[in-house]
A and B are shown apart, each in its own frame.
Chain A
Amino acid sequence: MRALCWEGVGKLAVRDVPEPRIRAEGDIIVRVRASSVCGSDLHLINGYLPAMREGDILGHEFMGEVVETGPGVRRHRVGDRVVVGSVVACGGCWYCRTEQYSLCDNSNPQPVFTEKLWGHAAAGILGYSHAAGGYAGSHAEYIRVPFGDIGAFAVPEGVPDDSVVFASDAMPTGWMAADFCGLTGGEVVAVWGAGGVGQMAARSAQLLGAERVIMIDRFPDRLATAAERIGVETINYAETDVLEALRELTAGRGPDACIEAVGMESHDVGPTYAYDRVKQAARLQTDRPTSVRQAIMACRKGGTVSIVGVYAGLVDKFPLGAAMNKALVLRMGQMHAQRYIPMLLDRLAAGEIEPGYLATHPLSLDEGVHGYELFEKKEDGCLRSVLHP
């Protein structure tokens, strides 16, 4: 079959690879119908998330059709149209039982690297390097999904592929980001990063009761899309002092909650950006935390900073003093896909969230390399390229 493979830092290619097979009773094989790019892939492609190997198949945000089921599978049949959460979860450990699926104890078969790095290993993630288990990804004609009963969900009729595909990753991530904020109604929420994840976080915050959502990015087209589709206020950080603007917009209080949906390759305009890039290049820090710093500085006293942008290792100049003295709540994590997907599918079917507009560039699998170029450079208004094998 054809698949989009990582070939080295910054290098991708479409190759012929063997087809996956059922390996365990609970496995299902899905014929991929739509597989999206995600900001996390950029971290993997660019070598900031470690343990990629040449030949690894990328892709973890996808939907498709079940073509084969292991003998232990109960909830799915051949022919079912399903969306699959990116996170692999066993369903049987304490973390799964308490719906903290991205912390599953058993789904990363190669846990030693992250145990050394973080003290404990988190769950495996499909198409997400050998640190996350070494699973083949979804930018391929077929993919093996372990624990199919737990990770795959039947798609409601009438919801198009290029919309429901985001129930795999961007929607649950955005929802979790807003969920972390503990909104009770009427809050002002600021969101850093107007990519697919940030936009889904903004919409989720509205649904959970935020009165105003303010989005921060530097790409005018992304900000304009968010304003138009979700009805948010926007700040272009390349033109405006973000901290000043947020203070102004909230009459001095600061946002009640700050969501960070940018991640470790955060960009900045000031002199600290050069400092961060040099340090990251020299591996003195692995991650560039510009937007996290800003979120902490901007947040109102006693507010919540919710981080869903991905970080892997160490950061520098982390304003711990601000967080401590303002008594902030910090929440963060990889998303618990399986916990949110059923609810999100209902909301999708009801039209409460309409993520289809994120699929700005529907492409064939063979155009995948180009799809990533557009996405990385944010060219041609690209929010997400969605590949169709």
Chain B
Amino acid sequence: MTNNGTRWALLGVTAATAVGVGRAVARRRHRHQPQRQDGWYVVRRAVTVDRPRDEVIGFWADRERRDRALAGWATLRQLDERRWRCVARDRAAGETQWQAEITVEEAGTLHWRVEDGPMPQLGRIELAEAPQGRGTEIRAEMRYRSGPLRRLVGLVGGDEPDLALRDALRRAKALVECGQVLDTRDDPSGRSRAQEKRTDRMRETLMTGGRA
């Protein structure tokens, strides 16, 4: 059984990958403690995508799209009917490798688990129909702990994974709705290289997190 029902694992990859340690480091300044439960930090975020649930699933199940989206930074391998393994590299964090196992349940639910990465985490995505024909709510919950690497760079708690999750959902929404995630970083300007660098730092602040 390799129908769309399980192949939309890519959506899980997108969410899991976004919380590699590199991005987290860039986001340290946004410090505040997330909720804790049974020794895990827990964050919940959701986004509404203006497409029916089947279309959302179909989008992430598309093989070509998947390969393009993964190009360069991750591989996705099917383990059995429901389970996938994603091996990803986080370039921003000096090529740290980490693995996620993604389990897809038919009913619009998937979870992922990262055990050996810089940030151990458990995640869950649920697709629910939005009211008034407003499409699909992608609801995500993520639990994470501080791995050794995170402790090394001084990130014990903090809300960076939360910001990263929100980014991930916003990107997922944009990809489904309009096929791209906009970026204006390469637009021309009259800035010197040093000015551009400073502006990029500001851009990062304005791009990071936000309402999913």
B-binding residues in A (CB < 8 A): 1, 3, 5, 7, 13, 15-21, 23-26, 51, 53-57, 72, 88, 90-94, 97, 105-113, 115, 120-121, 124, 130-131, 133-136, 140, 144, 146-147
Write out, one digit per residue, whether chain B residues 164-185 have a CB within 8 A of any chain A CB (1) or not (0): 0000001001100111111111
Residue in chain B with minimal CB distance to A104: B178
Q: Considering only CB atoms and an 8 Å cut-off, how many residues of chain B contact the other chain?
A: 35
Whether the Cβ atoms of A20 and B178 lie closer than 8 Å is: no
Q: A94-B134, A111-B206, A130-B203 are in contact. Are A124 and B191 (CB under 8 A)?
A: no
- Minimal beta-carbon separation of B22 from chain A (angstroms): 19
Whether the Cβ atoms of B211 and A106 lie closer than 8 Å is: no
Task: Please name all residues of chain A whose beta carbon is closer than 8 Å to the beta carbon of B192 when the two chains form the complex.
Answer: 55
CA distance A16 to B191 in the complex (A): 10
B1 at the interface (CB under 8 A from A): no
- Minimal beta-carbon separation of A152 from chain B (angstroms): 16
Q: A111-B211, A130-B202 are in contact. Are A54 and B50 (CB under 8 A)?
A: no
Which of the residues B174, B182, B191, B210 comes within 8 Å of A112, measured between beta carbons?
B210
CA distance A23 to B185 in the complex (A): 10
> 15 interchain pairs (CB within 8 A)?
A5-B189, A23-B183, A25-B180, A55-B191, A57-B187, A88-B182, A94-B135, A105-B173, A109-B181, A109-B182, A109-B207, A112-B206, A120-B211, A121-B210, A135-B184
CA distance A131 to B202 in the complex (A): 11
A-binding residues in B (CB < 8 A): 48, 50, 134-135, 170, 173-174, 177-192, 195-196, 199, 202-203, 205-211
Which of the residues B135, B187, B191, B196 comes within 8 Å of A144, measured between beta carbons?
B187
Whether the Cβ atoms of A56 and B210 lie closer than 8 Å is: no
CA distance A373 to B184 in the complex (A): 29
Whether the Cβ atoms of A106 and B177 lie closer than 8 Å is: yes
Task: Please name all residues of chain A whose beta carbon is closer than 8 Å to the beta carbon of B179 when the two chains form the complex.
Answer: 25-26, 72, 92
Whether the Cβ atoms of B188 and A106 lie closer than 8 Å is: no
Task: Please name all residues of chain A whose beta carbon is closer than 8 Å to the beta carbon of B50 when the two chains form the complex.
Answer: 92-94, 97, 105
